[in-house]
Amino acid sequence: MKVERLSFQALKKILNGSIRETATCVIKFYSNDCHYCHALKEYYEDLANTYEDIYFFAFNTGDTSAVDRLIKISGVPTIALVRSHAGGTPIIRILEEPIKPNDHTWYRSSDIKNFIERHKK
């Protein structure tokens, strides 16, 4: 699937359970001035193309200072997985910081893939 850029309004809908369908979403939180975020983009897009049943999104934390009211992230890049259920509270998971970060991309694509596999169902 293609990576879609999220607006703040769309992010709020996903995180507060306003989505009316059962779905799994992976969200990359990024910043325009983060070199890790830019380097991770290609790996993230490749992962999005390997999953047909998961929605992949990117959210620019520079779009609003209100992100912290919705989700607690410690910096960028951050990867979150959200499982929404029609009429229910979404389950939100945050990928832990790597013990040995990749010097170029912070997360390795295998870190993200393993995280998705563990939490997608």
Arithmetic mean of pLDDT over the chain: 94
Contact 34, 77 (CB under 8 A): yes
| 90: Cα within 13 Å, side-chain hemisphere | 27
What pLDDT score does 80 carry?
A: 98
CATH of the domain at 71: 3.40.30.10
Q: What is d(CA 83, CA 101) in angstroms, rounded to the nearest whole number?
A: 26
Model pTM score: 0.95
Contact 95, 80 (CB under 8 A): yes
Domain residues for the domain of 19 are 3-119
Query: What letter does residue 65 receive in the DSSP assignment?
Result: S
Helix (H, G, I), strand (E, B) or coil at 83: strand
pLDDT in tens, 38-79: 999 999 999 999 999 999 999 999 999 899 889 999 899 999
Structural domains counted in the chain: 1
What pLDDT score does 58 carry?
A: 98
- Give the helix/strand (H/E) hosting 79: strand 78-84
